[in-house]
Amino acid sequence: YLVQMWAARQFALGFIFGYAVFKRSAPMLTLAYIFFLVMFIGDFLIGIGMKDPALYGAATVMCLIAALMIYFIHKRSKMMEDKTLTPDAETLPAWILIVSGLFALLGLAVSASLVFAPASVLPNVDLQAKGVSYLIQMWAARQFAVGFIFGYAVFRRSAAMLTLAFLFFLMMNIGD
């Protein structure tokens, strides 16, 4: 169950990257890399907590790659004068921002529940079994990243970012 949930999230991450590249959208690519960065910061912290040098080493490299990609995408979009790369706050109705904000809070709440009270989310899972704690922490990191990208997209009031966040959410739930 946990492995399948994790795999669905990984598939959804790959899908949003592919979609953002296909659309050639700087806001979408930025959001995809922010998700990537937040997810790997979570993995880094899990690696530190579990004293796993391979995990926090790989997570550090991936964080650096994501941060550089965010920087270069942002730098390139600032240099271009194409209006499709600018935030489009005026076109988003308030209800979309409210619903998206609720999804952000939901992602953060599920993450916190997985970290602080995993039995409340997974009542039928043997939490003492080998490797289960690791999978729960990885799932929590990804749920935090989902909440974060929704929150960031709402904060930026970007239709392109919200589109990508909802595409991720759709693919993740189809996988679930």
Q: What is the mean pLDDT of each run of 10 residues along the chain (176 residues)?
A: 71 79 79 81 79 77 75 64 48 77 86 88 85 86 88 86 83 71
pLDDT given at position 77: 62
> CA–CA separation, 103 vs 148, rounded Å?
10
Exposure b/e, 132-144, CB count within 10 A at least 16 = b? eebbbbbbbbbbb
Amino acid identity at 60: T
pLDDT given at position 91: 58
How many CB atoms are located within 10 Å of the residue 55 CB?
A: 19
167, 147, 126, 166: which is closest to 1 by C-alpha?
126
The two counts, helices (H) then strands (E), for the chain are: 7, 0
pLDDT given at position 85: 44
> CA–CA separation, 2 vs 170, rounded Å?
18
pLDDT given at position 151: 92
pLDDT given at position 164: 84
> CA–CA separation, 75 vs 78, rounded Å?
5
pLDDT given at position 83: 54
